[in-house]
Structure 1
Amino acid sequence: MATRRPARRRGRHRPGTSIAGDLSPLLFSNPLRLALGFALATAFAWLFLSLWRRDRAQPALGLWGAAHAVWAAAALLFAAEALLPPPLGITLGNLAVALGYGLVWAGARRFAGRPARPVAVAAGLLAWTLLTLIPGFAAQLPTRVLAISIIVVAYDCATALVFRRGMRQQRLASHFTVIFLLLAHGLTFALRGALVLPALLPQAGLPLVQAPATVAILHILSLAFTAALTVALVALSQEQAALTAHAVLAAARDAAAAASAGKSRFLARMSHELRTPLNGVLGIAEALARDPGLGPRQREQAATLERAGRHLLAIVNDALDLARVEAGRLALAPAPVRLRRLLEEALELIQPAAAAKRIRLRLDLDPGLPEGVLADSLRLRQVLLNLLGNAVESTPEHGRVLLCAAPAGPGLLRLAVEDSGPGIPEALRPRLFDEFAQGPQSEVGAGLGLAISAALARAMGGSLDHAPGPGGQGSRFALTVPLAEAAPPPAPPAAPAPELPRPLRLLVVDDARVNREVVRALLRPEGHLVEEAASGGDAIAALRRGPLPDLVLMDLNMPGMDGLEATAAIRALDGPARRVPIIALTGDAMPEAVAAGRAAGMDGHLTKPLQRALLLAELARLAPSA
């Protein structure tokens, strides 16, 4: 007789809860999955909130961090189900779940730059609360599972829609990934809800799925999609932050460019406004100093006036140079230079001031110096003259000033100026290279020389430093600049003194009467005939009327038709008038003004205040020979 197997012991079932054991994983009752969900929610909450603390300009990060914090609390409530009166733990946990997804939706709205609506945020929480008021709802597991699934799916779809609309305004690389993960996460909850439909609709004949493995897989998938969504949201926020930072930098760049353009216009205007009255002062003073009709005392007074005006001009040039360097408008023009000759010329220029105080000037050259270097000789000489001028000024009579030159490394040159003066006071040293910083022994100047020298050194890729002189006496300023060795240029032939073949007929075009009088005062003693025009239109009319002048001196900045427009109109005339040489005579010393004059058809450029020697040299260069 065959042995019967003992019947498998079956558990007792209560009415209405026959599938509760199989659906319990949907409520996070599995300790391992519950612990995993709590750990992930806590870690992600910390991540989002940390990012939000560093970047408060992205409120979405704070809302997403709060959502994960609420989900972590929900996991604790689910875990405390056995300790709370049923079904309080499940009810409060699902309330927290619904609120968390509402916060995710609110974060998406804020990310897209739209306001978060509190009613919509709490809609899922309110819906769940109202459902719990239905008699028997809280006691039925399938209804709870279906309700929370519908709430989560609705929030996932609504959040995906917010991101999809946000792409129309600002498309980011992670947008599609976020939308896909939201929909995939919603799909896992939709499948959870589908699992309980057979229990809710037994008359529909739907197959009952009681495999715990299916529920566990859906739960793990939802956790995986949540983790992936967190990473995608972080990436999305970083992409938006990068774009915002780029926009801020672009705005700052545009503002800096506008400020630089405004400063350039200001410099051009100030150059013109300052040089125009200086032209009258210096021009008339120079003419008076050469006027034989005046007595020696009057000529000496005129020469003093001219020297004071030249000093004022030097201060104006210093201020404009400093502003040009700060505006980034200083263009260097490196070319092969004979280094020794450049240093000797700097000493020659400062020699008269040193001789007046019986100061010994000395040049100390290292034998290893190259004969030729690639440098902007104008700017390098400007720095040297500033340093030498300060040294001579601060050194007492019978003192010494030394200019040293030596290699400072491969491709580096160090030029040092030492003096035997009182040195720089300790209190002044920290701001020595600031604008308007002057020592107590300075009686002239505006305190701009060292600031400009330091700025020029930086523009040349070098530096300017100060240290006490040998033995602590005097000062030592060292200029270190990168200067590549180059073949020295050939020595230029001696230039003959400019000579004019005959008295010239000149047309001076300037809206300022004083500027026209300066040219007349400088050239009339030489026998030249000077005619005047107060505007560009008057100049064109004078050329058409005749007789033609030998040269035209044209101001650039005039009301109505300016000098550039007048020059272009002259070049468009018929006959010999279109070929008359035109020299720009302007207070605008900016390089852009020189280039604009050349482009308009001008043949030369003279800057106010006008110097008689430079004017005669330019006339000799361009005057017709016949």
Structure 2
Amino acid sequence: MNHTIASFFARYRLHHDMNRSFLEWVGVVGCIAFPAFYLLRFTGAVPPRYDDIGMRLVATGLCLFLALRRWWPAPIKPYYLAYSYVVVCYCLSFLLSFTAMRNGGEVFSIVNMMVGAFLTILLADWRNAICMLLLGYGLSLTAFQMMAPEAQSSLNILVWMPACLLVVVAGALSHYVQKQSEVRRMRQIYSGIAGSIAHEMGGPMQKIQQVLDTLERDLFRAGHMRSHPVSPVEQTMAMARVLQEGRNAVRLGLQSISVTLQQLNTRALDSSGFASLSAATCAERAVHEFAYENEVQRERTRFEEVADFTFKGDETVLTLILFNLLKNALYHLPSHPGARVTVTVDARHIRVRDTGPGIASGRMANLFEDFQTSGKAEGTGLGLSFCRRAMRALGGEITCASRLGEFTEFTLSFPEVSRADAAAQDEAVIKRANTLLRGCRVLVVDNDLLQRRAACANLMALGGTSCVDEASDGVQALEMLAWASLVPYDLVVTDLEMAMPDGHGLVRRMRSGAVPRHEHVPVLARSADADTGTRAKAREAGMDGFLRKSGGVPELARAIVNLLKDQPVRGAAIDLAPFAGQTALLAEDNDMNRSIVKGYLEELGISVMEARQGFDVLRCVKAGARPAVIVMDLEMPGLGGIETTRQLRQLGEMAQGMPVIALTSHASNDARVAARAAGMDGFLSKPVHVRALRQELSRVLMPCAVVDGRVVQAPQPTQVDESLLDLGRIRHLRKMDIMASLLPEGLAKARRIVQALEEAFLLDDLRGARLALHALMGLNGEMGGHAVYEAARRHSLAVEHGAWPSEAGWLERLKALMVESERALLVSYGLGDVQL
């Protein structure tokens, strides 16, 4: 018996587990309905009736207590469902049937009893609904015989009681059929979701497996081959490239999951993080990164750029939309082998057109509604409704045109951007590109002098670059890349259509390792032709981005932002050297932020001590800790970063020369001023990016060294003419401690280049002079010989125009400058006694 009661109540609990508030609203309705219907008898609208005021007041009180669940004392809240069971039995089953009998079974009372039966169906599963009615009717009959044995109730009531039970049974059967239909539909949706995720994740998971196999193989070789032919730097960079491929695969997998899960999300998209984006760049990247099932699908999908435009939005959102449309378009490819899919960007529109089976006109009206499909056997039926919600969140709209048996075309329409908004968007992307280019060395390759100079001018307009070099063809570019062996270029911008090697051949040589240290340098392709074939060929050659030659500074800025924002740390093996073996004290109260920044620091070869607040920092330093740098959040509980820094600076020799870098989400000018005033040396805004972190660390650590656990100033070289040198680069390279053997060889090589330049001048060989001057620029730029670099650059401009420099005695002055520069470089690197 107890087991049966527990089973019934468990079903009742399950019926209300997902929506307890429904019972609260039933209580509210009961509080109003029972007194209101009683008052009707005073209007004359109903005949005289049995006065059940007492029983109605009890029902009203019970319903009021039911409605106040949120204010129930905690000890009695677990009994809420049991209490509601009693309330439903009393109010809807017992009270209404008892008053119907006392009123002689008149019509109005019977209607009330029928309404009670219907409500009971809503408030309980069919088993408990029947149980409630039987219990209430049985109690009402018993009470009627006990309280009014002389009264005679109409036989109608005895007929309507079974009728009410029949209504409950019929309602329960209807509810059961509906529930089974919903279960089948939900199973179909879950099956579609699982199938979609499994399908979309297949490609990325295979790629991740391939990356892991490659890393395992390389690590095995590195551990078992004593005479490994690849240098540690090259091996590290190759592994970084493989890891980046794995990272891209993970990103694609996560995007694929998002495509499916976002279909179930009906919440409005958050527009606070929307930014200015290039429609062509986003669409082309989506077409390239879509997880195709096979090469046939990839070959039959192409991208066309008729006219690019900018829109304000989120790239991930647009990518999810395009992934949905591509998935739908490619679904029917096996049954329509001649079908083609084209994604076109044209003047505020992105169109996805396939020449597949088309969509019947009867399906078009509800195509973007939930659970509607265009003839697919599986799937959630939610993809197109998500696309419409997402496009409306972007301020646009999605429409569909189709002709059965011919084509289907989805059009994404984006809103016009005002001139003021467009200018603000351009300014923001230029500022972002300036940040990403800060300190970068760029090589521009183009055989068209005007186009080359225009590209250099645009790069200089963006600002941030430390050096922009030029090469007039692929041969010269390879020579300049080969000379740049100490500090490689950070970006190569190359034309595609050149004499052999053209842009494709140049990049293939770079990716194959023909030019040291440049295997993984990002390459931006420039071409007048922007069709799918040209872009695909550029990607196959190993290029990372694409730009129309007709584009201006904003277009270049967008291309650079898209190219560099997700790139791994370039030249990681070289950049690690200045930080290897050093220790940082990281103070951050947020566990997630601290873990992320700690990971970045450890990637740079820095050991990390952790602290949660300023008091921990002071305690560590007073206990004898001597980190090379302190990275500290400004907003921490207890003692914030600014006050902690003030107290550090009052410790005297104990914290002397210990640089502090501020971390904050509020990167305002006032915050920077306050940080500097407190004695902080650097400033990083959240979220922290590896490039910015590395730059700040380089700036505050390069002048310093760590000796016996103490932070001391690096010894300064003997006084030299600083105008001859790039002191920042020299401090960097000196800290890396790799110039002792490289500098003498580099200076000797520079002497040979000057001899070759002198021979070219005597033979009137402008091409030979041009190559020699570019080689001299590259070598001195790497070593820090700023004056020779600038002189060679100035002379090369004249030679590029087919004439010798007009300055009298230019070559002799260049040779004399070389001699002065040699002495200054040797002294600056602490190699003044070396004989070349």
State the TM-score, normalized to the length of structure 2: 0.28
Give the greater-gyration-radius structure (CA).
1
Higher RCO (Cα < 8 Å, 6 or more apart): 1
